[in-house]
Amino acid sequence: MEIIPNFAVFEGLDGSGTTSQQTLLAEYLEKNNAPFFATAEPTAGPVGTLLRQALKKNISLAPQTMARLFAADRCEHLYGKDGIAERSAKGQLVVCDRYVLSSLVYQGIECGDELPAALNADFPAPHLLVYLDIDPALAQQRLKSRQTLEIYEYPEFQAKVREKYLSLLDRFRQAGVEVAVIDAAKSPKEVFEQVLGAFAKMPIFKDMKMEKAR
């Protein structure tokens, strides 16, 4: 499996705080004038926008269609203009909120492991995978403040999501990906301390010599 050395991803259940941690990290990198690209999947591109419509229940798509769209969105995100491959080749630290593992987990539950595994087999892996681990009940409680819930945001599904994440992490470790499992039940600031600890071990992070207070 190809690994992109200056590429890191956040993964976790809905409500685990991946977006908040990515924001805190982006603020930290900004303060340190570090060259970085903070991005997310589904993307804001045409395929990602279609996916967001389906996630919000505005349109209905078969799980197999969703699996293919997530992979197509990822392909464009990786290889399209200003995408992950181009940015990382320029030496930027690329940080992505969700990536391949989200498809293996969510679409794996929805349409079986085979299809998402085949669709995502050729995509390069990140150097670092930060998994924000949280009890599904607590994550669901956090989602309560949201006005509308998306298609996967219900307790029975999220319980399966956690199980599947935990069962797949070893596969990434064995492929040479650095996997950091972080307890996401703590406050965002405490979680961020752990997140920063995981990023600090990345060679690119060391090269950037970041010092500014968190």
CA–CA gap between residue 96 and residue 208 (Å, rounded): 19
If one counts every other C-beta atom within 10 angstroms of the C-beta of residue 54, the result is 18
Contact status: 11 vs ligand TMP (CB under 6 A): no
Q: Which of 17, 42, 83, 108 binds ligand TMP (CB under 6 A)?
A: 42
Three-state secondary structure call for residue 72 = helix
Return the residue nearest ligand TMP (CB atom). Answer: 106
**Least distance in Å: CB of 212 to ligand TMP?**
27
The single residue among 21, 22, 92, 102 that binds ligand TMP, judged by CB under 6 A, is 102
CA-to-CA separations, 139 to 21, 61, 93, 154, 196, in angstroms, rounded: 15, 25, 28, 10, 22
Q: Does 77 bind ligand TMP (CB under 6 A)?
A: no
Taking CB under 6 A as the rule, which mask of x and - marks residues 134-173 in contact with ligand TMP?
A: ----------------x-x---------------------
Show the DSSP H helices in the chain as ranges: 18-31, 46-55, 63-79, 84-89, 100-102, 108-111, 114-120, 136-143, 155-174, 188-200, 203-208
Nearer to ligand TMP, 14 or 133 (CB): 14
Which is closer to ligand TMP, CB of 15 or CB of 192?
15
